[in-house]
Amino acid sequence: MTQQKKRREFAYFALRNNKLRIGVAIVFLFMVLALVGPWLTHYKPREFVAPGAQHPSSQFWMGTTSLGEDVFTQFVYGLRATFIVGLLGGGLGTLIGILIGFVAGYRGGMVDELLNMFTNIVLVIPSLVVLLIIAAYLEVRGFLFESLFIGFFAWPWAARAIRAQTFSLRSREFVDLARLSGMKPLRTIVTEIAPNMMSYLLLVFILQFGGAILTAATLDFIGLGPTNAVSLGLMMNNAVIWGALILGMWWWFIPPGLAITAIVGALYVTNVGLDEVFNPKLREM
């Protein structure tokens, strides 16, 4: 009953939190566009459909590129790619962070120190340099590769935060009692500690999600992104290469730039909003 009450209370504050409402609405809007967008267009993203550099019109909603591709088509396919990279990269980052954070925080001692050292090493590796080296060897890079790469370099702060939380939960007496019941460490983490951190883990995932999107856009923009696909970052990359800025083809680079800013911004706003809802101290009556 109280669980219900609690849920109701959560819903009450969640529905009244403007940051959360705005953030979720924006992300949701783009997600819907990414899902249904490809059905709204008759073209393929790399297809030559019209003479280049057309202004937006009723036929080409966002105009065309210098190469005569439809910008709107690229935009909706790019959105898909962006969300996929966000989910995969952010998911992977969260997962590794959770694994390392839980083990280090629960075990403590030597294990903690070793994992901490590992975390710090990953933290200081210049990921761009590594990517440049890999790029030199790999001719074809897809989204999967990009997501994995982002995930592998994004987890350290998540691991640290989760470790700290686990550490404080571990000293709670109910964990001691679980141990006195002969419960094994893994089971203790999964059944006693993790459920208490669900809201926190959700926040971590949202931040990782936003971070992955931003990183992907950056990589794409500087030409280290996928070689065989379309993404918002790649659109901007192409726009710059083909001189869209100088030629004043604003319709080519403004939509992807705006979308990335909006999505990442909205995710952060959602995060702040959720934090307020989860944390009664931040709530305003």
From 29, 130, 172, 282, residue interacting with another protein (rule: CB under 8 A): 172
Check residue 7 for interaction with another protein (CB under 8 A). no
- Binding flag, residue 2, another protein (CB under 8 A): yes
Nearest to 101 by CA among 202, 173, 210, 189: 189
**Shorter beta-carbon distance to another protein: residue 42 or 283:** 283
- Find the angle CA(145)-CA(161)-CA(114) to the nearest 5 degrees: 75
**Residues 6 or more apart in contact with residue 251 via CB below 8 angstroms:** 55, 56, 62, 63, 71
Q: What are phi and psi of 135, to 5 degrees?
A: -60, -35
192 lies in the binding site for another protein (CB under 8 A)? yes
Subset of residues 244 to 263 that bind another protein, contact rule: CB under 8 A: none
Instruction: Tell me how many degrees the CA angle 35-73-261 measures, rounded to the nearest 5.
Output: 70
Per rule CB under 8 A, is residue 181 in the interface with another protein? Answer: yes
Out of 110, 124, 136, 180, the residue judged to bind another protein by CB under 8 A: 180
Single out the segment in contact with another protein by CB under 8 A; choices: 56-64, 99-107, 188-196, 221-229. Answer: 188-196
What is the closest distance, in whole angstroms, from the C-beta atom of residue 171 to another protein in the complex? 9
**To 10 degrees, the CA torsion angle through 230, 233, 235, 236?**
-170
**Could you say whether residue 112 binds another protein (CB under 8 A)?**
no
Q: How many Cα atoms occupy the beta-carbon half-sphere of 94 within 13 Å?
A: 20
Q: How many C-beta neighbours within 10 Å does residue 8 have?
A: 10
In the bound state with another protein, the residue whose beta carbon lies nearer, of 176 and 245, is 176
Residue 20 CA, chain-centre distance (Å), reads 17
- Contact window for another protein (CB under 8 A) among 43-51, 115-123, 172-180, 246-254: 172-180
Binding site for another protein (CB under 8 A): 2-3, 9, 12, 172-174, 176-183, 192, 195-196, 285
